[in-house]
Structure formats: C-alpha cells, structure tokens
Structure 1
C-alpha cells in the first residue's frame, strides 16, 4: 500500500502572527528580529524580494530593504497560535508529528477510501485559516521528504499533490538545495563536480556518493530517488526537563553551588536546542541538610540560550538560599516547553553570539555534551 504523507507549513509564521495584531503590516516588507546587531528571525515575502532571509544579520537586511518594518518577536503569541493549529490538526487526523513550531507531518495512509486524503487535508487547512487567521501551505505525497520539498515549491498558500508515478518527474529538475539534508558545504562539494539538479544526483552511483560524503551518501541518494521510509512520529508534548546534584558531603560553599547551577543550566539548555524546544518557566530547587526542601520559579520569555537562562537561575538561587544552612541537594528544572526551531533568542542576541552557540552545539553533538563548557561551569 502506498503511504499518504502530508507536510504542512504555516507561511511566514512569525510575520503572519504579528500581522494579526497590526493590520497596517499587511502588504508591506516586514522583518521579525532583534536590534541592530541581531539577526532576522523571519521576514515577509515582500522583504524576501529584496534578498532578505532568516538568520541574516539585521544590518545587512536593512541595507537590502531599508523601508522594511522591523518588529520584535512575541514568543507568547507564537506559542499560543502554534498550539491552536496543533489542536485543530489533532482533532482531525489519526497520526500527526509536530516537526517544529510551524511545521507538521500527517500520516493519512489508508484513508483515501474513506475521505480522500487531498480533500481531507484541504478542509483542515481551510479550518486552520478560518479559526486562527494564519495562512498555511501543504503537499501530499508518498513520504516525508517529497512532501516537504513539495510544500516548499507550493508556498505561499500552496496546495499540492504528488502521486507516486509523478515523484521523480517532480524532483528531477529541482536544485539539490531543495533536499532537506543538503547544506551549503554539501552543495558546494557536489556542485564542483557538476551535480546541481536532483536528477543528476539520483543517477550517481551510490558508492561514489558514499566515498565523497561518507555514511550520509546512501541516505542522500535515496532522497534524490524519492525514497524515504522514515515514519511519522506520534506527537506528544514533553512537559519539563530537569537535573539535580546530591553532594557527597553537605556544603555551604556558595561559589561551588553557583558553578553547579551553571553546569546544569548549560547541559539542559543544550538538550532544549537539540530537541528544538524552548522553555518559559525556570525552577531552582534546594534541599537543606535537615531535608527541608524549597523551590522557587519564574516565568520568562520563551528561550533556550544558556546565558539568558543562567541569569534567571542564579537570581532564583540568590532569593532561595537565605538560611545559610548546609545543603545536601541542588537542582534546576525547565518547564512550560514548546517546540521552537531556533537555537537561541533571535530577537535580542547578536549575530556573534548566535554563531558561538551554533559552533558549541556542533562540537557537543560530535564529541559529547561535555566537550565544551563555560569557564564557570561544573561537570555534573
């Protein structure tokens, strides 16, 4: 049986949410992002015509499009609207995966004989736009890769069905950049030997690709040939992540405690970014030598950046630890989690800081989460 996999993507999600609050932004170039030294989190199609794109330094974006309206992001709003869309989809399909704050995969395999997969998906998107005010595009095909590429080609407000016998004709003329796993390094490598279209890539011997780019060569060849067996993973919202440390001997060493908190926050923040999550509640917990346990928490703008989360955690610890008794345990918890595809707070932090986090995360993914740490951090 052919699979029926849908990829849904909310069009310029941050911009669309922002326009719901201010209709004057309709039809004009809009950039959602931070200050002058920040980066672009999202931009409207009007701004994209000038060459602006996400993750671009704000200075460069405003040089390209000086008349753009710059708006600071509101993650409370983004989370609320994303949850509204999630609930609508969940009510109407048997299996959904939430890939990020604005992307969804639906597995409708076998439902054609009951509803018609394209008709059902189209009705769901109409409901989403009617009830949330947000524009959305989708593509329906045989697997996640083809559907995701299809959505990219269909946007904005696109509706596309790519049946099994049309998969290769659809993919062949497209640039290899359209394949989700092809980054700039892989693109440059393949371009140098004349591989620029998916058709050329699909006709390459898989052994040659494996020699060129390693173990991912086989996976890339499959995607170029429209093959992707990865399942749609049922969506379940993770509530919190936490870390605790019990001292071998009860302690009153405040500097050591602060270092421990720093290490725990760094470890947990890396987990958030790796799982594409953002937290809105920070909690610090302490347990005294007499087993009295106290906690303090605060609500924050959605975030996953170490330095921001550490600031809140240390402030909570300062307010919490007032009895000057020895401690036997200390812990940190992040809750109020939502899906977010950005690795840090793009609305306040600088391009340099974003690049630093991306470099650190890359090293941690390759060599382990303890491969690089803050100077004040403590291995926990």
Structure 2
C-alpha cells in the first residue's frame, strides 16, 4: 500500500477542510477525513493512472493546495497510516517526507524514536514502559511479546508489539459526511439550580454515550446548547481529546462547557447535547492507559449497556441522577 497522511496548516474554517478533501478526491476515492485539519489517502491504485510514484503525487497535492488556496501542507508517505503520520511529523512543516517500504529503513526510522511517538501511547503508558527501560521504539521492538503483555495486558501489549515493528493493519476508509447525534432535557420550568442542571447533564451524557455505543460510533466533538426562559439560546462546542463514546469522557467535557457558560443566575428551560463529527468506533485509536479505574468504568459501562438492551432503559442509570431528571 501507499498511504498519504496530509496535514493542512492554519485552516481559516471548517469549510476549507471540506474543500481540501474534495481536492484529494481528485487523486483517489479512498480519502478519510481527520478533522479538523488532516486526512488519510490511499493512493495505491492511483499511481499507474497518474504515471508517477507516491512522493511525486504527494508533492503535486502539496503544490496545488498552496497554489489554489494558499494553504501550507505537510504530507507523509508510507506503507500504512501509522508510519505516514510519523514520517509527516518528522521535520518542519510544509514538506513531503517519504519512508520507503524496505524493512531495514523502517526499522532504522523507528529505532531512535521516543515511545510516545507511537500513535496511541499516552504519558502513563510511556512512563510505565520507561520504568522497565523501554524508553524508545527500538527497545520496545526488541522486547519479547510476553514482556509487553505482562506490563500492559494481552491486547495492548500485542498492539504495541506490532506498532513498534512498523505494523498497522488499519485501512483507509472513505469518510461519509460527518453526522451528529443529539439528546436534550426540558425542565418544564425556569431552572436556576446549578446542581439540578448538572444532574440533567449527567443523564444526557449517559443517554448519549449509550446511543453512540449502540451504533458503534464515536464523537470527535461535543456541543452544549442552553435554551433560556426568554427563548434565547447559548451554544458552546469543544473537540474531545480523542474520539470517544465513553460516558465519563462525555460527562467531563459537558461539565466543562457548562462551567464556561457561567449560568449562576440564568433561567434555563432546556439543555441539549450534540455529539459531533461521528466516526465508526473501529476507526478510533484509544490511548493505551494504565488506569485501572478507567478500565473498570468501561467494563461497568458494557454491563450496563447489556442490562438496558435486555430489560429497558431504566435497568441501569447513573447513581448521581436525581429522580426529577430521570
């Protein structure tokens, strides 16, 4: 395969990203949007048609985005999405960088990289690995699979073992236009009590997370809409740290958005939450975290989802939810 990771710098607005995706689609139908400012493109089947190689095609794309729109673009060219991302980041912006398919060159490229350079490795995982002397991709690659699995667990250890060897089976999946999913709660009266508003938000994030997981979707962003007693509305949107359908992550961001609105004296009639820029859950790459509380919460979330599917929505709900917002 020949994969391009295309990073558009300093986009003025979201419409520009969509416009640049259309430009990429002129070179291959296999374009996966990575909002707000990047994309993956599989050009394996396009090279013969254009009569060129992948780095030259990438340079053509970079030149066109600059010439047509004045946008600086960095393109990484490699055999899979992970390597394309890494080689794109391996230097100053506004350039085309290519990593040959040769296994020796891939090994040499990865060997000196710090552990967090691997996509999906978070700070906690990097610290844990470093405590065992595994502070570079080269050292992780040399470690036995069993050692990594004892440190991180079976699945995460295997994933890291493959990544450290430059393996990434993730396909480039053409993106449908990002869609959204919305839930809302009406109070039926002017609600000034902040704690009741937050209880309603907890109910909403619980419902929203369940709906996302039921459809195997993850949200990249969350929007909070507040409708006031005078029928005016206030809206705030923020991008999540990583695409997720995990209720605690949605709740944390919803509370943060609520805090930023400073609604101490506001008379609130309706609270609405909208999960934005949805993508298939299988396309997400959750950070490898060594957080037993997080893993426990995810297991409980799965159990609660099964209970609701079998016995109905009331079978499981957040303990902190007040009865009047159930």
User: TM-score if structure 2 supplies the norm length?
Assistant: 0.66
Q: Does structure 1 residue 174 correspond to structure 2 residue 119?
A: no
Deviates more, 1:117-126 or 1:253-262: 253-262
CA pair 94-252 structure 1, distance change in 2 beyond 3 A:
closer
Q: Can you list the C-alpha shifts for 1:259-313, whole angstroms capped at 9, x where unaligned?
A: 785345434776699521244x8487xxxxxxxxxxx785745336424369699
Coordinate RMSD, CA, aligned: 4.3
Please name the residue that 1:228 is paired with: 168
- Match status 1:219 vs 2:159: yes
Q: Residues 146-166 of structure 1: CA distance to partner in whole angstroms, max 9, x if unpaired?
A: 111111103312311112103
What is residue 221 of structure 2 aligned with on the other side? 277
Give CA-to-partner distance per residue, 1:306-326, whole Å, 9 cap, x none: 2436969997963x8xxxxxx
> Which residue number in structure 1 is paired with residue 3 of structure 2?
5
In 2: Cα distance, 1:93 partner to 1:232 partner: 11
Task: Tell me the distance in 1 between the aligned counterparts of 2:267 and 2:59.
Answer: 48
Pick from 129, 137, 146 the counterpart of residue 198 of structure 1: 137
Change (3 A) 1:306 1:94: same
**What do the CA deviations read for 1:64-87 (whole angstroms, capped 9, x no partner)?**
xxxxxxxxxxxxx43233333233
1:99 aligns with 2:39: no
Tell me the residue number matched to 1:114: 49
Which residue is 2:94 aligned to? 157
Unaligned 5+ runs, structure 2 = 240-252, 280-292, 305-315
Q: Find the counterpart in structure 2 of residue 239 from structure 1.
A: 179
Q: Distance in 2 between matches of 1:268 and 1:79?
A: 28
Shift of 1:239: 3.0
List per-residue Cα deviations over 1:181-202 (Å, max 9, x = no partner). Answer: 2222222222222222222211
User: 2:18 maps to which residue?
Assistant: 83
Structure 1 residues 268 and 128, CA, compared in 2 at 3 Å: closer, same or farther? farther
The 3 A distance-change label for structure 1 pair 161 and 217 is: same
Aligned mate of 1:187, from 112, 122, 126: 126
Equivalent pairs counted in the alignment come to 270
C-alpha separation in 2, matches of 1:93 and 1:207 = 40
Q: Is the 8 A contact 1:259 1:376 kept in 2?
A: no
Instruction: Describe the shift of the 1:259–1:159 C-alpha distance in structure 2 as closer, same or farther (beyond 3 A).
Output: closer
Q: What are the within-5 Å matches in structure 2 for residues 298-337 of structure 1? A: 298=233, 300=235, 302-303=237-238, 305-307=253-255, 308=257, 318=269, 332=272, 334=274, 337=276
CA contact (8 A) 1:84 1:132 kept: no
Tell me, in whole angstroms, the C-alpha distance in 1 between the residues paired with 2:324 and 2:5. Answer: 42
Deviations 1:39-94, CA, capped at 9 Å, x for gaps: xxxxxxxxxxxxxxxxxxxxxxxxxxxxxxxxxxxxxx432333332332234321
Shift of 1:8: 1.5
Q: Secondary structure of 2:94's match?
A: coil
Structure 1 match to 2:84: 147
**How far apart, CA to CA, are the structure 2 residues paired with 1:377 and 1:149?**
49
Q: RCO higher in 1 or 2 (8 Å CA, sep ≥ 6)?
A: 1
Equivalent-residue separation in structure 1 for 2:96 and 2:60 (angstroms): 11
